[in-house]
Chain A
Amino acid sequence: MKQIMKMVLVLTVLGLVSGLVLSLVSNYATPIINENNREAIKEAIFYVLPKTEDYEVKTIEGKDIYVTRDSEGQVNGYAFTASGSGYQGTIELMVGVNSNLEEIQGIQVLDSSETPGLGGKIRGGNFKNQFRGEDASGGVSLVKSAPTEPGEIEAITGATISSKAVVDIINKGLDQVQEIMGSGE
């Protein structure tokens, strides 16, 4: 009996101390982590819409849309996050479009676990810069050779699935945002 009491007591005290320490550390770290995440979002917005001076979040139908303004206070575009399955795990993107939602201004990869050296190249400038100023009135499409038509994106050699995933995620996200914004205004 005495032995059992001791076991219960030791585990209870350990659990309590552990809970106390963890809640203290969590109280300290959580605001900093949130701040880091906000900072990452902010950086991504400024990357996908380079002329941005300031932005505000608008939540329409449950979707966060970042309305960005240039140095003259004019709305210069919208940024939104979009995600979907890649070759490995989920790819999360920040997409920036111009104010009539017809031209992509830039994309940024927020999160992906694509194979380093292959699909991982979706994080690289060569791939991402293809989207700058790309006509997306009819969505973007993937080609395996140098693009000839507007809206065409060249796939990364050896990483067609990852490239296709990015294009699909963008199209899906664009559709959704066009619908939301179309109905909202």
Chain B
Amino acid sequence: MLKDFVKGIWRENPVFVQVLGMCPTLAVTTSLINGLSMGLATTFVLIASGLAISSLRKVIPDQVRIASFMIIIASFVTVVKLLFEAHIPTISTQLGPYLPLIVTNCIILGRQEAFASKEPVSRSLMDALGMGLGFAFALVVLGSVRELFYQGTIADVEILGSWYKSMIIMVQPAGAFISLSILVALFKKLSSRG
């Protein structure tokens, strides 16, 4: 049970190890808060659809499983989108189209196919929680790095002093690719030692 949870965060981290869900990973991580909100929204969808699909796994016929998964995932994504727009409109504007695009995040469909549709509810919950938090963790790290080198702040708290000259490239796509590749390399180095 615990192993199902931990693997998503470390050994099978969806971003750093499996390199999945790159679209939101690269696009929204311009700051810690954006990365965190995207990570948590995705975690919610993973858990909710994982629970639903795992409990329905014996009912859903094999031939229409992908269609059924998509209905379930898309419904939860729409719920998240509406709740974000209603309660945290500023973050919803920041994330823009990437919030509804969680539907197409391959981590989500991937976990249903690989895990939730075969395993009992409790294990699927742990798996979804682990993968979701692993994804959120990666987005937070990436968001913090980019925000720090862009304007010298993390979560809008000044870290580097006023001497720091902002690096515009860090909030642009090129900066996303550069930071992500360095982080993936670092992660590889760290995990191969242990």
Which of A's residues lie within 8 Å of B, judged by CB?
Answer: 3, 6-7, 10-11, 14-15, 18, 21-22, 25-26, 28-30, 32-33, 36, 40, 111, 113, 115-118
A32's closest neighbor in chain B, by CB? B86
Residue pair B61, A117 in contact (C-beta under 8 Å): no
Q: How far is B30's CA from A6's CA once the two chains are assembled, in angstroms?
A: 46
* A11–B71 alpha-carbon span in the complex (Å): 9
Q: Can you give 30 A-B contacts (C-beta < 8 A)?
A: A3-B63, A7-B63, A10-B60, A10-B68, A11-B67, A11-B68, A11-B71, A14-B72, A15-B71, A18-B71, A18-B72, A18-B74, A21-B75, A22-B75, A22-B79, A25-B83, A29-B83, A29-B85, A29-B86, A32-B87, A33-B85, A33-B89, A36-B86, A40-B89, A113-B96, A116-B30, A116-B171, A117-B150, A117-B166, A117-B171
Contacts of B171 in A (CB 8 A): 116-117
What would 17 more interface pairs be, CB under 8 Å, given A14-B72, A113-B96?
Answer: A3-B61, A6-B61, A7-B64, A10-B59, A10-B60, A18-B72, A22-B79, A26-B82, A29-B86, A33-B82, A33-B86, A33-B89, A36-B85, A116-B30, A117-B150, A117-B168, A117-B172
B85 near A25 with CB under 8 A, answer no
Q: With the chains together, A21 CA to B52 CA distance in Å?
A: 14
Question: Within the assembled complex, what's the spacing in Å between the Cα atoms of A115 and B78?
Answer: 27
* Tally of A-B Cβ pairs under 8 angstroms: 62
Smallest CB gap from A17: residue in B: B75
Given A14-B68, A18-B72, A117-B168, the answer on whether A36 and B89 have CB atoms closer than 8 Å is yes
Complex contact B64–A10 (CB within 8 A): yes
| Cα separation A116 to B89 with both chains bound (whole Å) | 19
> B interface, by DSSP: helix, strand, loop or mixed?
helix
A90 to chain B, nearest CB (A): 12
Closest chain B residue, CB of each to CB of A158: B168
Q: How far is the CA of A10 from the CA of B78 in the complex (A)?
A: 21
Q: A113: which B residues are within 8 A, CB to CB?
A: 96
A19 to chain B, nearest CB (A): 9
How far apart are the CA atoms of A33 and B93 in the complex, in Å? 12
Residues in B whose Cβ lies below 8 Å from that of A30 = 82
Q: What residues of A have a CB within 8 angstroms of the CB of B78 in the complex?
A: 22, 25
In Å, the complex CA distance between A127 and B15 comes to 38
A18 pairs with B86, CB closer than 8 A: no
Ranked nearest first, the 7 interchain pairs of A and B with the lowest CB-CB distance are A117-B168, A32-B86, A29-B82, A18-B75, A29-B86, A116-B171, A36-B89
Given A117-B150, A118-B168, decide whether A10 and B85 contact each other with a Cβ distance below 8 A: no
Contact between B172 and A7 (Cβ–Cβ < 8 Å)?
A: no
A26 and B80 CA atoms in complex are apart in Å by 11
Chain A CB within 10 Å, residue with most, of B60, B86, B89, B166: B86
Chain A positions within 8 Å of B172 at CB level: 115-117
Please name all residues of chain A whose beta carbon is closer than 8 Å to the beta carbon of B61 when the two chains form the complex.
Answer: 3, 6-7, 10
Q: Tell me, rounded to whole Å, the shortest Cβ–Cβ distance linking B188 to chain A.
A: 29
What mask results when residues 27 to 52 of chain B are scored 1 for a CB within 8 Å of chain A, else 0? Answer: 00010000000000000000000000
Q: B137 CB to closest chain A CB, in angstroms? A: 24
**A115 proximity list for chain B (CB < 8 A):** 172
Nearest Cβ on chain B to A31's Cβ, whole angstroms: 9
Q: A7-B61, A7-B63, A117-B166 are in contact. Are A21 and B79 (CB under 8 A)?
A: yes
Closest to A27 in B: B82
